[in-house]
Structure 1
Amino acid sequence: MTSRRVRATVPAGTTLLTLTALTALTALTLAGCASADRNSATRPTAIPSATTTPSSSRHYRLTTPDTILDGRYKKAPGEDKDVAADQLSRATLLLGVTNGQRVHAVYTTELRKDMSFTGIWGRVEDPERSVDMLFLSSATAARKDKRLSTFTWSGSPQRLTPDGLGKDTVLKCQGTRFTLAGTDDKPTHIRTLCAWADHDTVGTVSLADASFARYGRDIPLDRAAELTAGLRHDTRAPVPR
């Protein structure tokens, strides 16, 4: 029997698919939040012990610098396409973000590692709820995306607290595996999705690392969380007063 091949990243020309299926904010804005109503009965329940409060009066925005994580990851060339204002409005409403603005970038290394980052910044009402809605909406979008042949989660979203994460920040990660419709050999792609939210920013990061994927393994969640916390640190900047 032929074993199924695994890949860390999506083949050239399918970047939009990866972002739509795996990066929850992109799924929300591009797919239009069709099935994720703010008042839905499937709305995740916030964890009482995880209630957060703003840590300071200073506000932060999100940026996309040319390099992150001490220069190890470089921003890939290509424009970030704008999304329709009404789609962004629905996404920010769902996530509980006021005056939301969106950013996006893909960061790569020479060692076949990449991080697809999408974020919204503004005023975030409930960081825990925002993160839960990101995972719920991402799963809904993936199930409906006809460009995917299969899509599965590895376990459930895990809350993690890597060093350097702000005390008012909620961060969760979960592994994903998927195949693309219409491909001859249908290789399995392995990526890890992390999402964070604080009272100013919401971000998702879809990570791939060939050194793990070649063995059919997910990136360890604590490692994915560390990388996401580093990206968050490098992309957040104070809003000019």
Structure 2
Amino acid sequence: MTMPPPPPTPPQQPYPANPYGAAAPPYPHPQPYPWGGPPVPPPRRGLGPGAITAIVLGSIAGVVCLGLLATVLLAHSDDTSSPRYRLTVPKSLLHGRYTLDEDMSQTLADHLGSRSGPNERHMKAAAGKYSSSGDPQLLLASGLYGQIRNPKRALASMLKGMSEADGAHINTAPRELTPSGTEEPITCEVLGYTRYGAPGTLTVCGWSDHSTVATVSSPDSHHPDLQAAAKRAADVRNEMRVPLQ
């Protein structure tokens, strides 16, 4: 018996060029930075408040840690007299031209550690960060007060600590100046500093006596006027340093 032939295959419908009804978009070319662009490096900044604070904090560590040799050397130096002054952190400085942004006394005290050494005893900290619309715009006044046997040694230790801070170096060695209107000298130095690859210049002036040792620091031009800086520090001294009652 002969089998009937199979039914014919129905014609196949052609596939549309684009099943979504529109022309297919071109395949995107790979981008070199698929997350929106190349990474942006951190901004290059000069000597800002953070850098100045780091230098000042670094200067405090060596003030009350002079070691055994210092004890021997100081045995025949001036005896520690009774303290006459303390340091304060006024709300403004230099006749109101600078306004207090932050009282940093506790930060400085925390960094100090030991409060007594062979040259200083019962030291307390006082520090303030000030700003102004003038030039320089930033000023950091900081220091210690208590009983100081040898004031010159205390100031030398503080200035040395600042010049040895990370990234700092001496541009102008310390010079003793006596501004007009005062009989007490001021010692000034100029430090160079590099942060984020950008250089900065810091003018530092300080004073010391048997009760207080302090510095006034500010970023300045590459050719700072040390006489003007010394006069500025002397005026700050008149406002920060007050007699004990």
The two structures have a TM-score, normalised by structure 1, of: 0.69
Give the gaps of 5 or more residues in structure 2. 1-44
| Aligned residue among 38, 44, 56 for 2:66 | 38
List per-residue Cα deviations over 1:98-150 (Å, max 9, x = no partner): 2111011012210242221111111111111111111222223x1xx2xx3xx
Q: Counterparts of 1:99 and 1:108 in 2: how far apart (Å)?
A: 30
C-alpha displacement at 1:58, in angstroms? 7.1
Counterpart in the other structure of 1:201: 212
Q: Counterparts of 1:83 and 1:64 in 2: how far apart (Å)?
A: 13
**Alpha carbons of 1:69 and 1:193: their partners in 2 closer, same or farther (altered >3 Å)?**
same
Give the gaps of 5 or more residues in structure 1. 1-6
Q: Counterparts of 1:92 and 1:231 in 2: how far apart (Å)?
A: 26
Structure 1 contact 67–73 (Cα < 8 Å) conserved:
yes
Counterpart in the other structure of 1:136: 160
| Aligned residue among 50, 53, 56 for 1:19 | 53
Which protein is richer in helix relative to its size?
A: 1
Counterpart in the other structure of 1:61: 86
Structure 1 contact 191–218 (Cα < 8 Å) conserved:
no
Counterpart in the other structure of 1:10: 47
Counterpart in the other structure of 1:218: 223
Structure 2 contact 175–189 (Cα < 8 Å) conserved:
yes
Work out whether 1:153 is the aligned partner of 2:149.
no
3-state secondary structure, aligned to 1:188:
strand
3-state secondary structure, aligned to 1:90:
coil
Counterpart in the other structure of 1:236: 241
Residues paired across the two proteins, number = 198
- Larger RCO, structure (CA 8 Å, separation 6 or more): 1
Q: Which amino acid aligns with 1:20?
A: A
Q: Counterparts of 1:20 and 1:238 in 2: how far apart (Å)?
A: 29
Counterpart in the other structure of 2:8: none
Q: Counterparts of 1:73 and 1:84 in 2: how far apart (Å)?
A: 20
**Alpha carbons of 1:89 and 1:207: their partners in 2 closer, same or farther (altered >3 Å)?**
same
List per-residue Cα deviations over 1:147-176 (Å, max 9, x = no partner): x3xx32123100111134454xx5211111
Counterpart in the other structure of 2:133: 110
**Alpha carbons of 1:218 and 1:166: their partners in 2 closer, same or farther (altered >3 Å)?**
same
Q: Counterparts of 1:84 and 1:178 in 2: how far apart (Å)?
A: 21
The two structures have a TM-score, normalised by structure 2, of: 0.68
Q: Percent identity?
A: 24
Q: Which amino acid aligns with 1:61?
A: R
**Alpha carbons of 1:37 and 1:86: their partners in 2 closer, same or farther (altered >3 Å)?**
same
Q: Which amino acid aligns with 1:158?
A: R
Counterpart in the other structure of 1:176: 191
Q: Which amino acid aligns with 1:156?
A: A
Q: Counterparts of 1:161 and 1:66 in 2: how far apart (Å)?
A: 26
3-state secondary structure, aligned to 1:203:
strand
Structure 1 contact 52–127 (Cα < 8 Å) conserved:
no
